[in-house]
Amino acid sequence: MTFGRQLALDLGHRTAVGREDFLVARCNADAVAWLDRWPDWPAPGLVVHGPAGCGKTHLAHAWRAVSGAGLVAGRDLDPGESARLGGALVVDRGDEAPDEEAFLHLVNVVGERGGHVLITARSAPARWPIGLPDLRSRLNALPAVAVGPPDDAVVAAVLVKMFADRQLRVGEEVIWFLVARMERSFAAAGRLVERLDAAALATRRRITVPLARRVLGEIEAMPKREGEETWI
């Protein structure tokens, strides 16, 4: 019997972008419920916040697939962004937006046009160091929902699914070995499965605990570039 069948988890499964999907669990259920309510939101926008690697960007891409929303990084916001705005827009890492006037103009235009903006961030707007009073007021008026880091059961389920997507059979002992030692994020799980797949292919061996230990060691030894962060 495979580990995937032994692992009893109360997790939903839904299509996100293309062939990708994500698991609905306690850590993201509230955010998913809000996205499911669109376009019947009580405000012209929604803020989804949580730590790096918790899946905020994945959820945003899932919403884009349904809403047809455009995408812009908070740090790239400029005064002309509102002119390119359609009916919906995702502002990824909105807490990194350097131009508060441009951000305020965008939020105002969204409301005037009856559109919607989904903002992802590390924390709720109430904790952002916003200097522009009008922008602070607008953002604090938007609903804000938290996404938490995945727990062991969710990380294990994600690993099982990612290995299965690559048609890889991995034992239960490998899954729990990885769960106990890896970074707690969906992004880290994806990178780890990719490297394990490549290592198994290169050595023409199945994925075992010794191979997992070696790959984890290689990842830990890799220097992290300044400003680099996991997929949020």
* Same domain as 142, residue 65: yes
CATH number at residue 7: 1.10.8.60
Q: Which amino acid type is present at position 25?
A: A
Instruction: Choose the final residue of a domain: 124, 146, 168.
Output: 146
Quote the radius of gyration of the chain (alpha carbons, Å): 20
Report how many domains make up the chain.
2
Look up tokens 């605990």; give the residue: 209
* Same domain as 142, residue 30: yes
Q: Which amino acid type is present at position 39?
A: P
Q: Per residue of the chain (232 residues), what is the pLDDT tens digit? A: 232 333 333 344 343 343 345 577 788 889 999 999 999 999 999 999 998 878 888 889 889 988 999 898 999 887 665 556 667 899 999 999 999 999 998 888 888 888 999 999 999 999 999 999 999 999 999 999 999 888 888 889 889 988 998 999 899 999 999 999 998 887 788 889 999 999 999 999 999 999 999 999 998 887 765 444 443 3
- Tokens describing residue 12: 């939903």
Note down the domain range covering 114: 26-146
pTM higher than the cut 0.85: no
The residues, any chain, with a CB within 8 Å of residue 146's CB and separated by 6 or more, are: 30, 31, 49, 50, 124
Distance from chain centroid for Cα 190: 12
In a domain, 230, yes or no: no
* Same domain as 214, residue 126: no
The residues, any chain, with a CB within 8 Å of residue 31's CB and separated by 6 or more, are: 48, 56, 59, 145, 146, 147
d(CA 140, CA 142): 5
* Same domain as 127, residue 53: yes
